[in-house]
Every structure is written in C-alpha cells, then in structure tokens.
Amino acid sequence: MDLVLVILVIGVALGFDFTNGFHDAANAIATSVSTRALRPRAALVMAAAMNMVGALLGTAVAETIARDIVNLEAITMPHEELIIVLAGLLGAVTWNLITWWKGLPSSSSHALIGGLAGAGVAAMAVPDSGVSVKWGEIVEKVIVPMVTSPAIGFSLAFAFMLALLWIFRNSAPHRTQRRFRSAQIFSSSAIALGHGLQDAQKTMGVMFMAVVAMGWYDKDAGIPTWIKFAAALAISLGTYSGGWRIMRTLGRKVIELDPSRGFVAETVGAGVLYTMAFWVHAPISTTHTITAAIMGVGATRRLSAVRWGMAGNIVTAWLLTIPAAGLVAAGCHVILRLVVGLFV
C-alpha cells in the first residue's frame, strides 16, 4: 500500500506542477502579449524554456516546503505521512482549478502551503499522531512575505515608473515605447525564470517529502536530481499549454498596459522573486508579486486607471487561498484515511 501511495503522491505532485504551469503562465507573459512585445505562442515557448532553467537553479525554497510547514518526524508509519502529503496536494490542485476556471490569478504556492497545513491540522486530530503544524515558520516564511512582497512590488514599480517617466519626459513617445517593447523580451524572460525558480521548487519539496517518508533518501541529503528534472519538465509543459483565462485578467482587466509599464512591472517582479528565493529562502507568490507590480505602474498614470473592482476580486482570492485549500485538504485527509484503512 505504501508503494501505491508514494506513486500517487508523485503523480499528483507532477499534476499540481502542471496546473501551476498553466495557471501561472500568465504571470510571465500577460504583459508582453498585451503590449504586443511577443506573440502568444512565442511567449509561451519562451516562458516554458525559462521555467525549466529556473527550476534547476536552486533548492532552498524546496527545502523550506519539505521541512518548515508540517512536522512529520514523529510519524512511524510511512502511509500516514504520505496521506498527509497527498491530501495537501489534492487541496492545492482543487483550488488551482477553481481559480483558473474563474480567471483569477491566485497563488499556487499558497494553495500548496494551505493544503499541507490543512492536512496537518486534520492529522493532529488523530490520537497519538505526533503531527504538528509549524505555525511560527508559516507566519515567518509565508504570511509575512505574502504581505510584504506585493507591497514591495507595488512600491518599487510605482517609484521605478515615475523615475522612467521623468528620464524620458522629452523623448519621442512612439520611439521610446518601441524600445521598451523590445526590452520586454528580456524582462518577461527574467520573470519566467523567477517563476521556475520559485514555483517548481515547491513541487520538488513535496516529492522529496514522499521519498523521505519511504526511507529512499535521507532528509539531509538534498533534493535528488531526478526530482528536480521531473518538476522542471512538468511546470514547463504546463506553462506551454497556456493559461489564457488568467492572461486576459492580468493583461487587460487590471489595467491597459503600454510597453514601458509592462517592462517595469516585469523587471520589478523578477527582482523580488530572485531576492526572496536566493537570500530569504521564502516561498512567495509569483502571482501576488507581478499583479502588485502591474497595479503599481498603473497607479502612476492615475489612480482610476487601475480597475480596483477587479483588483479587489483578486485580493479576495488571495485571502481565501490558504484557508480554502486547507479546508479541502482536511476533508481529503479524512477520506483518504478511511480508504487506506480498508487496506492496511
């Protein structure tokens, strides 16, 4: 039964990674497509390739997911740990699909974290489970960055855009925008790289939890190469499949972007992603960061240029993500324990 469960966990983890790719493909390319810097299919190919590269650049975020959300070290039966991981994944996938269907750019990262925490809470209700949720780590490495990274993205994008407007105040608008349209090829590549660096690593962390539970690898040995490549490939394929519903939201429904504002939003978003991955090791949301940056550059035009009603819907989805994915995961944990109990 343990082998069946670990295969299920790995399969669902890669499925989650795939949904993460098409759910968050808009993060990297919506601005470039909406400003016509890139054609949609070319943008998807670029984003998929950069997601692959980014996924292989580090493992710090993966290790945070594997070690700092739920404490499973006291569990002696592998199937109990695998049930928690599988329930967490199912909660995350369910919320991803709901928000994708609604066209809302919610956070796949926070859906996964919420799913794991929700499954952990459900497991704590089992007598003598030995499971605990690391709320202190979640607050420090998830909740605080969840608030600060969009605020930083908004503020930096607003300030950077104001600086560019002043620097190019006497330049010919058409020629300047044409140059920024070309520059967007590089800025959208940078944020696609950051997306792979952040989001693919979260799936690596979950898969690593599963193989450690089976005793196949030591928890201090580092992420195996095959897990890195599998996660990188899944998110790249998902990205290539596209995320047109969310792309329309980010590219058109929040604000009508021009090339200079698209370049600034992507550049600032990428910078925040790299900083959090390499220096803070925090699993932040690519979605939150780029959306806040888009709002920041939009606000330099005038506050009414940002469609705050749509922005409010997005923020509501952000706030609901962790608890909603957690509730689904908790329900899945109850059902999975009942089903697995019939065979163990």
Q: For residue 330, how many other CB atoms are within 10 A of its CB?
A: 21
Tell me which residue has tokens 């909660």. Answer: 91
Q: CA-CA distance, 149 to 284, in Å (whole number)?
A: 7
Query: According to the model, what pLDDT value does residue 249 have?
Result: 53
Beta strand ranges found along 54-199 (DSSP E): 70-71, 132-133
Q: For residue 319, how many other CB atoms are within 10 A of its CB?
A: 12
C-alpha of 1 from chain center: 31
Q: CA-CA distance, 67 to 71, in Å (whole number)?
A: 7
Long-range CB pairs of 171-180 (<8 Å, 24+ gap) are 176/260, 177/258, 177/259, 177/260, 178/259, 180/258, 180/259, 180/260, 180/262, 180/263
Q: Which amino acid is at 114?
A: G
Query: According to the model, what pLDDT value does residue 251 have?
Result: 47
Identify the bridge partners of residue 117 per DSSP, sorted by sequence position.
none
Contact 185, 37 (CB under 8 A): yes
Q: CA-CA distance, 237 to 19, in Å (whole number)?
A: 9
Contact 84, 5 (CB under 8 A): no
Q: CA-CA distance, 125 to 273, in Å (whole number)?
A: 36
Written as six digits, the tokens of 137 are 């780590």
Q: Which of 99, 17, 105, 100 is nearest to 287 (CA)?
A: 105
Q: CA-CA distance, 322 to 334, in Å (whole number)?
A: 18
How many secondary structure helices (H) and strands (E) does the chain include? Answer: 14, 2
Per-residue pLDDT tens digits of the chain, which is 344 residues long = 788 889 999 999 998 888 777 766 666 677 777 777 777 778 888 888 888 888 888 777 777 787 778 888 777 788 888 999 999 999 988 887 887 777 666 677 788 889 999 999 999 888 877 788 888 888 888 888 878 888 898 999 999 999 999 999 888 888 888 899 899 889 989 988 888 887 778 888 889 988 988 888 887 777 888 998 998 898 888 887 765 555 555 545 455 678 898 899 989 999 998 888 777 777 777 777 888 888 888 888 766 556 666 566 667 767 888 899 999 999 999 999 888 876 66
Query: How many domains does one find in the chain?
Result: 1
Which residues 6+ apart lie within 8 Å of 114 measured at CB?
91, 92, 95, 321, 322, 323, 324, 325, 326, 329
Which residues 6+ apart lie within 8 Å of 272 measured at CB?
149, 152, 153, 156, 284, 289, 293
Q: CA-CA distance, 335 to 119, in Å (whole number)?
A: 11
- Residue 76 belongs to what domain range? 2-341
Q: CA-CA distance, 224 to 176, in Å (whole number)?
A: 47
Query: According to the model, what pLDDT value does residue 326 have?
Result: 94
Beta strand ranges found along the chain (DSSP E): 70-71, 132-133
CA angle 157, 260, 307 (to 5 degrees): 60
Q: CA-CA distance, 198 to 194, in Å (whole number)?
A: 6
Written as six digits, the tokens of 168 are 């190019």
What's the whole-model pTM score?
Answer: 0.81
Q: CA-CA distance, 200 to 5, in Å (whole number)?
A: 22
Tell me which residue has tokens 């960055």. Answer: 145
